[in-house]
Amino acid sequence: MEGSRLDLREPIGDAISRIRFAPRSNNLLISSWDSVLRLYDVDGSELRLESISEGALLDCCFEDEETALSAGSDGCIRRYNLCSGTQDVAGKHGDCIKCIEYSAQTGQVITSSLDKKLKFWDMNRSGNSGCTKVVDSDVWSMALCGVYLLAAGGTAVDVHDLRNLNGPVQSKELSTDYPIRCVRSFPTCQGYVTGLVDGCVALKYFDPTNEMGCVFRCHPKSKNGRLHLVAINDIGLHPCYDTFVTGDNEGYAIMWDAQGRKKLFEFPRYPNSVSSLTYNCNGQLLAVASSFTYHEANEVEEAPQIFIHKMENLARTSSA
């Protein structure tokens, strides 16, 4: 299934860190190391916003259809009015911010930084310095699951209740020697999936009686007769069907049956690593960012690109 490439007028000047579709529309938010936040209207094939900041942007998210947030290497949380194009600094860490999420249910912005701190900001309160939690290791990836926050660091996932920030309500250590690269929540909020540096995926459920949890290798590569480990950079879970897509550091994206643990479809290899991918709100579109990631020393540093795949027929076939 060939994807159409977005025409962004001018090439993105550095690695793409994150792409996300809007909550209800096909507007695509793009953060990158060139310090620019971009908003692209996929339906209208129009670049609607380019907003420059002082630091490299390592993550981004929507607050709603008209407001977005970014996490910067300068420790700043920036908030953008997507209609006017204005931005301001909504908060700050003492070090580079790696992840950012917005909870529509609690009105909180959650950030993780290389200072080993999680911060929970109430956007409805002016001058709020944020509630700070010190964690044992750098949080490499975060995801929201209803009123719960999933924070992955090292080989463990901590689950925080956003309504009670005394500490994690659950902590799960994966039986692996390889660190977690990304964590994403099931749309049903019954559990989550993690992608590991060694090309494995781990499915975990909150209900201890659910025996569907598993770990399987989904991106094994072989070189010279030896297993060549390729990190999974991102995972996109379909909002309606029990399938997900993994993207790895060698430019491969594969769709999987979550319950059957079997490959459903492999997309044509992308020019660069798959740095990020995201479904739109109804799962009819899949956006894939092909970009170097600074994770490997020998990555090909070609100009980053974004591809859009129409998923309607493939998704229905996969769920049959």
3-state SS track over 246-297: EEECCCCEEEEECCCCEEEEECCCCCCCEEEEEECCCCCEEEEEECCCCCCC
pLDDT at 213: 64
Any idea where the domains of the chain sit in the sequence?
A: 14-92, 174-313
In the chain (320 residues long), the average pLDDT of successive 10-residue segments reads 82 96 98 97 95 96 98 96 95 93 94 90 69 82 96 93 89 87 94 93 82 69 68 96 94 90 91 96 96 78 91 57
Distance CA 91, CA 108 (A): 12
Strand order in the sheet with 170-173: 141-145, 148-153, 156-161, 170-173
What Cα–Cα distance (Å) separates residue 19 from each residue in 57, 248, 286, 307, 318? Answer: 11, 15, 11, 11, 24
DSSP 20-61: EE-SSSSEEEEEETTSEEEEEETTTTEEEEEEE-SS-EEEEE
Whether 14-92 and 174-313 share one fold: the answer is no
Show contacts of 263-266: CB within 8 Å, 24+ apart: 263/218, 264/318, 265/1, 265/314, 265/318
The pTM score is 0.92
Run of H or E residues at 319: helix 312-319
Both structure tokens of 57: 């942007």
Tally Cβ neighbours within 10 Å of residue 48. 14
Class of domain 174-313: mainly beta
Nearest to 299 by CA among 223, 233, 215: 233
Region 14-92: CATH code: 2.40.10.480
pLDDT at 320: 46
Whether 97 and 79 have beta carbons less than 8 Å apart is answered as no
Both structure tokens of 250: 């060698």
Nearest to 56 by CA among 15, 100, 3, 7: 15
Rg of the Cα atoms in the chain: 18
pLDDT at 165: 87
Distance CA 231, CA 155 (A): 14
| 268: DSSP letter | P
